[in-house]
Chain A
């Protein structure tokens, strides 16, 4: 759905995006993560067609997005800092979106009022709280019936109940209409529950891009205990990213297939062997921790 090919963007002497390559499949929920200033919002503004890249190419559904109104009509975007016209209320904005987006669903708009009961349609949006303004943005974006939904730090400012409700709305939209979602956040814990693909942007470069399943399948957390307190010599070729001990129990983070790791460790006759699931946060720490990346900035 989204192809970002070798994109570079400079702001005067500062290179915000440095030969970025990124691919988002149709129907995927792609989490774009990275520390503050990594270039997440910049790449999103390129994908939404607001910015023009200095080099490279950006395609959405196979078409260049910049200055392409037809492509942009399929995209709904919720920025971190939401824009509404001065003095506009929800009805005004709805009318604007209805005239702007050919696929705007007025019936859905009316139905969704049940999900956002606290929002008064005739109240100026600027007078609403930040969280409520965000709800309005979601309301309008969903009603545009987009093929691609782009969210920049989407649930900041929402209370936990509304967060859950919004994600649930989005998930049902993804399931029903197969929309693609690109969501940017610096919060890995939040993305872990919703994303199926993840890309890490750091210093204007995509340093890793994989499906969550691949990531979780490629690194394992092993808790193992042997008769002796000492950890025996591990088999050759085993890629141990991290090791720690507490008495006779050793915790190992090992890169590789789980089945192979289990076979290899079982051959050492452990008295305890447990393979635990890794959080996204842990995966990034162990995958990138040794590669001079400031992972601590990603994990907050």
Chain B
């Protein structure tokens, strides 16, 4: 009577298919509506509105990209459907009665797992594949199926298969550790956003306690492969050249699919191992594995405490460390016992053992916050070594983007100076003293970035130094005309006119010759100290409450090394190493009475005067 290993059980499969008809037929209906039916509807609409004459012309772009690659629409559906399918095929694990009975039938766990897993996966994949093939067949009947179309359909099926398998395997894996039907969707959602959630919490903790570290200081690219539901929405095919019958597409992030497939396999193996060792009597428990229970308890306590403390400090608009730590302890302890209540499904959780554990938790969380506050990890004091920095960007009170060693030295010095005055600045930060924010971004040679943000009171000597530095003509010119100034060529421009009330009143195109003359005039003004820094402009506007600008001069220029300017938000440090950096740029100069040479030149070229007379 030795048990033969059979991986597939016909009885369970038939039962799953007949019992789960609502799921797979619902999915089939959905895919049919969004693929072939939607395609047909679009075609009818376009023909009716006389946009095109032939059905093939109408249908082709939909066949190629429009209909198929709306992954931001499909991915959440994949994720939700995967959860429902997993919950259905393993539904017997949620109640002791069902779980006990299923495990008394003559089937071993491996076979039960494999059959259920395959059933759920078939529910997800078969409707998608059928609908895609049906669409393809519809397209073929209209004569718009080319080799390229078939290729993209096969790619879509592959993408959908991998993504469905990934979400489904993740849900199945979760089900092996969570036995409560209501906890599964919540924890599945958390698992999908676990990485980004941890970062948000960690950054909120650090941002609350550490000086100079605000949100985004530690992790810049929060949404990555570890946040699948968001990341996979951008995986697929994108149209590059779009002309009704001539569509050129590119594959976007498709290289990550093998990684997700491997992750799905890992999830399945973990789930299978966990299922083999699962104690059936834990059916209905929130967490069914003992070693996970403390992680759940402590994790919930730490996360809730951090978010709760953040809320409290925001509500009271306070940076008091005492208030913060008290909030963390009280909210954390409450969350700790709520977690225990969920685990035990009882409110009688205030045992000596748990009270001791909660006390240990409180001590540890206090120690963590104290360590961060005292900067034990050196996060506040850290400055990247000068030899590891590729480029720097300063924003806020002064705008500076540079890879010039001279400028980088100054930024390094400024940062050191800020840290030297840390105590004083920290006090001012906590007291919300009036000041300017200064953010320093370093692009390191390994491609990573390092960011710190500070608030510098206007009365502080560091602020005066920033102000002085930003007034230096060469600094102003570099920030205005790009980091490769003077190696730039001005080839045109536009002058925008404003009325005395500051309203836009028209524009005039400027020739290359005129633009070069105006460029020289701007340089002359700045070299003679007649340019306005950002700070000065702000201070003037704030004091006079009037806009003194006469117009806007926009100079178009070309930088063969790639145009990068502190004024241009999109060409910041993230673009520094980009191979396809745009060479053409635009510089905007707000013209006021200060720019004497520029004004004179504008009058001389009849740009300003002529327009005024008109």
Q: Which residues of A contact B (CB under 8 A)?
A: 11, 45, 48-52, 61-63, 67-75, 77, 79, 81-83, 85-88, 92, 95-102
A50:B280 contact, CB within 8 angstroms: yes
Does B108 make an interface contact (CB < 8 A)?
A: yes
Nearest CB of chain B from residue A249's CB, rounded to whole Å: 52
The 6 closest A-B pairs by CB, nearest first: A99-B11, A73-B106, A83-B101, A48-B104, A72-B106, A100-B11
Q: How far is the CB of B558 from chain A (nearest CB, A)?
A: 71
Offer 9 A-B interface pairs, CB within 8 angstroms, sorted by A: A45-B281, A49-B103, A50-B99, A63-B1, A74-B1, A83-B97, A83-B102, A85-B15, A98-B11
- Asked if B447 is an interface residue, CB under 8 A from chain A, the answer is no
CB-contact partner of A95 in B14, B99, B106, under 8 A: B14
Given A11-B281, A51-B279, A83-B98, the answer on whether A70 and B2 have CB atoms closer than 8 Å is: yes
The answer to whether the Cβ of B548 comes within 8 Å of any Cβ in the partner chain is no
Q: Please determine whether A50 and B97 come into contact, CB atoms closer than 8 angstroms.
A: no
Q: A51-B281, A79-B97 are in contact. Are A71 and B1 (CB under 8 A)?
A: yes
Interface residue? B107 (CB, 8 A): yes
A67 touches B10 (CB 8 A): no
Identify A100's interface contact among B4, B98, B106, B108, CB under 8 A: B106
How far, in Å, is A58 (CB) from chain B's closest CB?
A: 13
Least CB distance from A48 to B in Å reads: 4
Across the interface, which residues of B come within 8 angstroms of A72, CB to CB?
104-107
A61 proximity list for chain B (CB < 8 A): 1
Q: Closest Cβ of chain A: how far from B85's Cβ, in Å?
A: 16
In the complex, the chain A residue whose C-beta lies closest to that of B101 is A83
For B99, B105, B108, the residue with the greatest tally of chain A CB atoms inside 10 Å of its CB is B105
Instruction: Give residues of chain B (1-21) contacting chain A, Cβ–Cβ below 8 Å.
Output: 1-4, 6, 9-12, 14-15, 18-19
Question: Do B6 and A69 have beta carbons less than 8 Å apart?
Answer: yes
Q: Which residue of A lies closest to B105 (CB)?
A: A100
Are B18 and A92 neighbours in the complex by a CB distance under 8 Å? yes
Chain A residue numbers with a CB within 8 Å of B109 are: 67
B11 touches A75 (CB 8 A): no
In contact, A63 and B14 (Cβ under 8 angstroms): no
The yes or no answer to B574 lying at the interface (CB within 8 A) is no
By a CB distance below 8 angstroms, the chain B residues around A83 are 97-98, 100-102
Q: Complex: how many Å from CA A167 to CA B568?
A: 89
Known: A48-B100, A72-B107. 18 other contacts (CB 8 A): A11-B281, A45-B104, A45-B280, A48-B103, A50-B104, A51-B280, A67-B3, A69-B107, A69-B111, A70-B1, A73-B106, A79-B100, A79-B101, A82-B101, A83-B98, A83-B102, A100-B105, A102-B106
**Residue in contact with A49 in the complex, picked from B6, B15, B18, B104, CB distance below 8 Å:** B104
Interfacial chain B residues near A100, Cβ < 8 Å: 9, 11-12, 105-107
Contact A81 B19 (CB under 8 A): no
A69 close to B19 (CB less than 8 A): no
A interface, over-half SS:
loop
Which B residues lie within 8 Å of A96 (CB)? Answer: 11, 14-15
Q: Mark B536-548, 1 if CB is under 8 A from A, else 0.
A: 0000000000000
Residues of chain A contacted by B10 (CB below 8 angstroms): 99
The answer for the CA separation of A69 and B18 in the assembled complex, in Å, is 24
* CB proximity to A under 8 Å, residues B103-131: 103-109, 111
Nearest CB of B to A8, in Å: 14
* CB-based nearest A residue for B276: A67
Chain A minimum-CB-distance residue to B110:
A67
Closest residue of chain B to A49 (Cβ to Cβ) is B104
Tell me whether A69 and B106 are in contact in the complex, defined as CB-CB below 8 angstroms, given that A11-B281, A83-B98 are known contacts.
Answer: yes
Contact with B2, one of A63, A86, A99 (Cβ below 8 angstroms): A63
B19 touches A86 (CB 8 A): yes
Name the contact of B104 in the complex, choosing from A70, A75, A98, A99 (C-beta under 8 A): A75
What is the minimal beta-carbon distance from A25 to any residue of chain B, in angstroms? Answer: 18
What's the nearest-Cβ distance from chain A to residue B89, in Å?
A: 12
Contacts of A82 in B (CB 8 A): 97, 101
CB pair A77–B104 under 8 Å, yes or no, is yes
A110 to B529, CA, bound (A): 105
- C-alpha gap A92/B11 in the complex (Å): 11
Q: Are B19 and A68 in contact (CB under 8 A)?
A: no
A75 contact set on B, CB distance < 8 A = 104, 106
Contact bitstring B273-284, A, C-beta under 8 A = 1, else 0: 000000111000
| Chain A min CB distance to B515 (Å) | 77
**A102 neighbours in B (Cβ, 8 Å):** 106
In the complex, chain A residues whose CB is within 8 Å of the CB of B19: 85-88
Residues of chain A within 8 A of B99, CB atoms compared: 50
Residues of chain A within 8 A (CB-CB) of B14 are 95-96, 99
Chain A nearest CB from B20 CB (Å) reads 10
Tell me which residues across on chain B come within 8 A of A50, comparing CB atoms: 99-101, 103-104, 280
User: Which residues of chain A are within 8 angstroms of B105 by Cβ–Cβ distance?
Assistant: 72, 100
B108: which of A52, A68, A77, A81 is its contact (CB, 8 Å)?
A68
B104 surroundings in chain A (CB, below 8 A): 45, 48-50, 72, 75, 77
Distance in Å: Cβ of B284 to nearest Cβ of chain A = 13
A52–chain B nearest beta-carbon distance, Å: 7
In the complex, what residues of B have CB within 8 A of residue A87's CB? 19
Query: A63 CA to B107 CA in the complex, in Å?
Result: 15
Mark contacts of B311-325 with chain A using CB atoms, 8 A cut-off: 1 yes-contact digit, 0 otherwise: 000000000000000
Chain A residues near B279: list those with CB within 8 A.
51-52
CB <8 Å contact, B107 and A68: no
B95 and chain A: residue at smallest CB distance: A83
A50 to chain B, nearest CB (A): 4
B3:A68 contact, CB within 8 angstroms: yes
Query: How near does chain B come to A175, taking the closest CB pair, in angstroms?
Result: 24
Interface residues in B355-399 (C-beta closer than 8 Å to A): none
B431 to chain A, nearest CB (A): 52
Interface hub of B14, B102, B104, B109 (most chain A Cβ within 10 A): B104
Contact A70 B11 (CB under 8 A): no
Interface centre among B12, B18, B103 (most CB of A within 10 A): B103
